[in-house]
Structure 1
Amino acid sequence: MMRAPNQDRNSSGSKVGILLQRSFSTVVLLGLLAAALWWNSEAGYYGLVCVFCILSAWEWRHMLRRSRKASQPNLSFLFGAAYPVVLSLACCMTKFRETAPTQETPFLIPFPLLLALAAPVLLVIVSFIREMKNPVVGSRALRSVGTTLLSFIYPGWLFAFSILALHLAYMKEGSVHPAVVMCVLWVILVTKMADIFAYVSGFLLGGRLFSRKLIPHISPKKTWEGILGSWVLTNAAAIGLIFPMFGVSVLSMPQILVLVGCISFIFLLSVYGDLAGSLVKRSLDVKDSGALLPGIGGIFDLIDSPSFTVPFLWFLLAFIG
């Protein structure tokens, strides 16, 4: 079936417009990151993450109320807004130290990590208690508690692991460790580059090599050409960022191969994180979580993929630290 010429032009123009909007939003976000790096303080880094998490929690509340799905949107927003702030305060007050276990304290868990583990547990308990006042109607109570917990964990609680990762940059006297900050920033940039390059590659090559879409029932616009093209471009750009961000002058072939493996792992998590966001929105019958970022949507749409990659960075930093 042939398309009318004006339809093709409208479709192409729409894609170009979205690409320009995404580029503008990306420049604004990069400006915020640059400002935080220029300030180079705990307050700046933690504050930026808190703003993203709080706005994402607010968008979750709006999506849940609009969809009328079984949930407790006000409770999840309360936890989603308070948690990153309390976590930031805990990190500021208790600098991370490598403390050897003793007989009195054989297992020592840093307070910020303990807080991170306790938050979703407390939310489950409170949401169950609140749900007990309602009559039992099928599986509504279970869906309400599950959705409330999900709206707190994804992406806000997961993305807040960037606070815990940055916390590792402040050793003993609280002096900043630039390499750790650069690691966190590099992972976030690689994650978002995967999203942007997937859109650009899909825009330029989508449908020319493969007739089948990636996962059309979740994200109809994602193509195999976009994913493959993004993987190549993301690897090239991510390796290129290593030189200015970490002061590296040369990379050996084994180092490049290790980097390609790490970047590919981040890329894979990024794709699934973005698809998870699409799955949530499709389940709630909404197109975008918000309209704060032209071409992107809301803050939820911005941090959905980094919420899959940042926690793994924290595990790596904590393990090798």
Structure 2
Amino acid sequence: MSKKKSDLIPRLITAIVALPLLISLIVYAPAWLFFAFIALVGAISIWEFCGITFSAEHPGGRLIAMLLGVGLMNVLYFAESFFVPALAATTLAIFLYFLFAFKEQARVTHQIGSAITAILYGGVLITFIALLGRDGGDAGPMWILMTLAIVWASDTGAYFSGRAFGKHKLYPSVSPNKSVEGAIGGVLASVIFALAFQALYNTLAPDTWNTLSILQILALAIPANILGQTGDLAESLVKRAHDVKDSGTIIYGHGGILDRIDALFFASPWVYYFMKFTSGGF
């Protein structure tokens, strides 16, 4: 119990320092600059994923995966119609690299699979956060902030409801500290924060946002929350498979980038396509 309390202080310090900077970047920076930030996040995510799975065996493969992943992110953002051929070319490049640069034949399929997974997981999925800003028009920053609010409210709700009421383990073989009660609290917190955030935004910028009904908020927040919690478990599975506690040490009090944004990888595509559907963008 004391360890959980000691982790809370550095987490709060990091949030107090980083959150205003992040909000300013989302609200005031041009969309391409926010994408540049997301591309950096994606690069670090790919680097960390490969660091967990195989980089000690093949550091060069880790670098190649990161460079190819950032390239694929740029194609998805700036030339979306070429994404499928770019994805095929990226997959081919990974295979060709390891074909001529493998160090241990018995492990090369693991390294190839890990590199491709890192690119898709750490690079492509997080690009949808930037696509919200690109395709959301004047409401783009709101969609990004709404996504963050849903995911981070889930973390907060799950943490405190789990500590207060948690009795039934959610998935002990993957994440022994998570509880069913915490997961439910996370869902409720996401819905409440989404409603509150929309009300606040309608007050501050009423002309840039088409108000979602309560049913639409539920259809947005609940699946995004479930996907986010699943993303959290998925990253825990990867770390547990390799006996790693944190994906990195880049964020004070939070470990690595993957440790902080694992829920966004799964939740942000849902929010993006929800936005496209509700705005008639298909």
Name the TM tier (shorter chain): 0.7 to 0.9
1:242 maps to a residue whose letter is Q
Check 1:38–1:74 CA distance in 2 against 1; reply closer, same or farther (3 A cut). Answer: closer
Do residues 17 (structure 1) and 6 (structure 2) align?
yes
- The equivalent position to 2:223 in structure 1, one of 262, 265, 274, is 265
* Residue 14 of structure 1, CA deviation: 1.5
* Whole-angstrom CA distance in 1 between matches of 2:38 and 2:237: 24
TM norm structure 1: 0.75
Residue 28 of structure 2 corresponds to which residue in structure 1? 39
Q: Secondary structure at the match of 1:214?
A: strand
1:280 maps to a residue whose letter is V
* Whole-angstrom CA distance in 2 between matches of 1:274 and 1:67: 24
2:142 maps to a residue whose letter is M
User: Structure 1 stretches (4+) deviating beyond 4 angstroms?
Assistant: 85-88, 134-138
- The equivalent position to 1:226 in structure 2, one of 163, 169, 182, is 182
TM norm structure 2: 0.84
* Whole-angstrom CA distance in 2 between matches of 1:19 and 1:204: 16
2:200 maps to a residue whose letter is P
* Maintained 8 Å contact 1:70/1:144: no
Check 1:237–1:56 CA distance in 2 against 1; reply closer, same or farther (3 A cut). Answer: same
1:26 maps to a residue whose letter is A
* Whole-angstrom CA distance in 2 between matches of 1:163 and 1:259: 21
* Whole-angstrom CA distance in 2 between matches of 1:85 and 1:25: 29
- The equivalent position to 1:196 in structure 2, one of 126, 147, 156, is 156
2:159 maps to a residue whose letter is Y
- The equivalent position to 2:194 in structure 1, one of 231, 238, 241, is 238
* Residue 29 of structure 1, CA deviation: 3.4
Please, what is the CA RMSD of the aligned residues?
2.7
* Whole-angstrom CA distance in 2 between matches of 1:238 and 1:317: 14
Bigger shift: 142-151 or 43-52?
43-52
- The equivalent position to 1:28 in structure 2, one of 3, 11, 17, is 17
Residue 182 of structure 1 corresponds to which residue in structure 2? 142
* Maintained 8 Å contact 1:49/1:163: yes
* Whole-angstrom CA distance in 1 between matches of 2:188 and 2:105: 50
Residue 81 of structure 2 corresponds to which residue in structure 1? 114
* Whole-angstrom CA distance in 2 between matches of 1:58 and 1:144: 13
2:250 maps to a residue whose letter is L
Residue 173 of structure 2 corresponds to which residue in structure 1? 217
* Maintained 8 Å contact 2:54/2:114: no
* Whole-angstrom CA distance in 2 between matches of 1:257 and 1:38: 27
* Whole-angstrom CA distance in 2 between matches of 1:154 and 1:36: 23
* Residue 151 of structure 1, CA deviation: 0.9
Check 1:136–1:73 CA distance in 2 against 1; reply closer, same or farther (3 A cut). Answer: closer
* Whole-angstrom CA distance in 2 between matches of 1:168 and 1:258: 19
Residue 143 of structure 1 corresponds to which residue in structure 2? 110
* Whole-angstrom CA distance in 1 between matches of 2:84 and 2:15: 32
* Whole-angstrom CA distance in 2 between matches of 1:191 and 1:313: 11
Residue 250 of structure 2 corresponds to which residue in structure 1? 292
Residue 237 of structure 2 corresponds to which residue in structure 1? 279
* Residue 197 of structure 1, CA deviation: 2.1
* Whole-angstrom CA distance in 1 between matches of 2:164 and 2:250: 26
Q: Secondary structure at the match of 1:160?
A: helix
Q: Which has the higher helix share?
A: 2
Bigger shift: 257-266 or 275-284?
257-266
* Residue 316 of structure 1, CA deviation: 3.0
Do residues 52 (structure 1) and 47 (structure 2) align?
no
Q: Any gaps of 5 or more consecutive residues in structure 1?
A: 1-11, 91-111, 170-176
Q: Secondary structure at the match of 2:45?
A: helix
* Residue 67 of structure 1, CA deviation: 5.5
Percentage of identical aligned residues: 26
Check 1:36–1:137 CA distance in 2 against 1; reply closer, same or farther (3 A cut). Answer: closer
* Maintained 8 Å contact 2:45/2:258: yes
* Residue 276 of structure 1, CA deviation: 0.9
* Residue 46 of structure 1, CA deviation: 1.6
Check 1:24–1:201 CA distance in 2 against 1; reply closer, same or farther (3 A cut). Answer: farther
Q: Provide Cα deviations, 1:152-172, integer angstroms capped at 9, x if missing partner.
A: 111321001222232213xxx
* Whole-angstrom CA distance in 2 between matches of 1:284 and 1:238: 35
* Residue 78 of structure 1, CA deviation: 1.5
Residue 260 of structure 2 corresponds to which residue in structure 1? 302
* Residue 230 of structure 1, CA deviation: 1.7
Residue 166 of structure 2 corresponds to which residue in structure 1? 206
Q: Secondary structure at the match of 2:176?
A: strand
